[in-house]
Amino acid sequence: MTDGTTWVGATAKQISRAVRRGDITATQVVADHLEQIAITDPSLDAFRVIRAGEAITEAEKVDDQEDLSNLPLAGVPVAVKENTPVAGLPTWNGSAAARTGVAEEDHEVVRRLRGAGAVVVGTTRMPEMGLWAVTDASDAPTRNPWDRDRTPGGSSGGAAAAVAAGLVPIAHCNDGLGSIRIPAACCGLVGLKPGRGVVPPELGLTNWYGLVEHGVLTTTVADAALGFSVLAGRDPIKLVQPSRLRVGVSTRSPLPGVRADEPNMSAVSSAAKLLVQAGHDTRTADPKYPPALGLGTLATWFASAYREAEHYHLADLQPRTRQHIRLGKWALRSGLVRQSQRDAFREASIQFFADNSIDLLLMPALASAPPLADGHAGGSWRHNMSVSMKYAPFAGPWNVAGLPAIVVPVGLRPDGLPLAVQFVGPPDSEALLLAVAGQFEVLNPWQRHAFV
């Protein structure tokens, strides 16, 4: 609880503990957050749908349960990304043209959140079909609470804006080429992309050839661990002090000709010093990004849009999206979408940790500051590709590899926007990534919310 009168700004763990103890009702917690959403969201456009009445009813049902002890998210208001089915709501997929019908049942990750006692207060915005690293619509670009002229990232930008503004303590999101970690970095949040197959992967329509993983965005590592445990169907993760680790450090960009700017380079340097302060060893270790990886990843990105487009009326989609779809058709016909190539990069990435005798890899989260919020939805395909790739090139390879990765805040840029770094680990290292992130939070606490 933040000031004795509202639960807005409290963590998910604080809320669930208080609701389980009977210190506060789920109904009051949800009402507090709905009031804050009504005040703040009109200037952010983080939400597509707000379930005010339904959320209060669901919170009352939580309060009516006799035993709340087994509900790790008891009474916690959560938001769900709009490409993930929520029973009784259309699945928007980023625009009216990409909207599909009313879902008859919850996606499995939504079912797990509700089963843990969480209350879905609404669905959050994303770019059309989740294709871009900015979250925008021609009439309502989503804005970063740290600077409303800037994007909160994409494609889970609405989720990130909602959490950074304190509208919910935890938000569901998903990540096909960085869509958890990019918004986390833009908005000063913790964002864990689980490894392949750890969380039920299927979206309402497609899974981008296995690249997409579900996760959460939070303001604390403890909440990230809690949300991950719920989505993965695991016992709660205890954040323990990790033993001495060997951490590789790399600032090499996967995209030729693009490198991290000075603030992001400094963030990696600061993070490496924190690792040493925590008792770990660091060494330079640059992953190999074969030239074929870039073309293959682009082809898969294009083809994912083409496969999904059969559900929509092509002429109604944005020009940038239509071009992406056309290229997807070409990529498939040209034989550029190859599972064997993705499998080879995964094997090479796993071997990279063994060859370099490292436990984790530290690298930039972004290459530059978040772009402007406006001017993308109606822009050309070339413009959107350039913007997305040049400021956020570091995330995508780890979806191709299917390895877990986490973004952690480390401070602020000179312009006052958040700075972050990314850690990548071998398969099944989610708990280790969270443990190291927890050390960072202790050694270098961050501002949990933007001043909105």
Catalytic residues: 81, 155, 179
Cα distance between residue 164 and residue 161, in whole Å: 5
Count of all residues that appear for the chain in the document:
452
HEC-encoded secondary structure of the chain: CCCCCCCCCCCHHHHHHHHHHCCCCHHHHHHHHHHHHHHHHHHCCCEEEECHHHHHHHHHHHHHCCCCCCCCCCCCEEEEECCCCCCCCEECCCCCCCCEEECCCCCHHHHHHHHCCCEEEEEECCCHHHCCCCCCCCCCCCCECCECCECCCCCCHHHHHHHHCCCCCEEEEEECCCCCHHHHHHHCCEEEECCCCCCCCCCCCCCHHHCCEEEEEECCHHHHHHHHHHHHCCCCCCCCCCCCCEEEECCCCCCCCCCCCHHHHHHHHHHHHHHHHCCCEEEECCCCCCHHHHHHHHHHHHHHHHHHHCCCCHHHCCHHHHHHHHHHHHHHHCCCCCHHHHHHHHHHHHHHHHHCCCCEEEEECCCCCCCECCCCCCCCHHHHHHHHHHHCCCCCHHHHHCCCEEEEEEEECCCCCEEEEEEECCCCCHHHHHHHHHHHHHHCCCCCCCCC
Cα distance between residue 179 and residue 132, in whole Å: 9
Sequence letter at residue 24: I
Cα distance between residue 449 and residue 165, in whole Å: 6
Residues 6+ apart with CB under 8 A from 262: none
Q: How many CB atoms lie within 10 A of CB 1?
A: 17
Cα distance between residue 146 and residue 152, in whole Å: 9
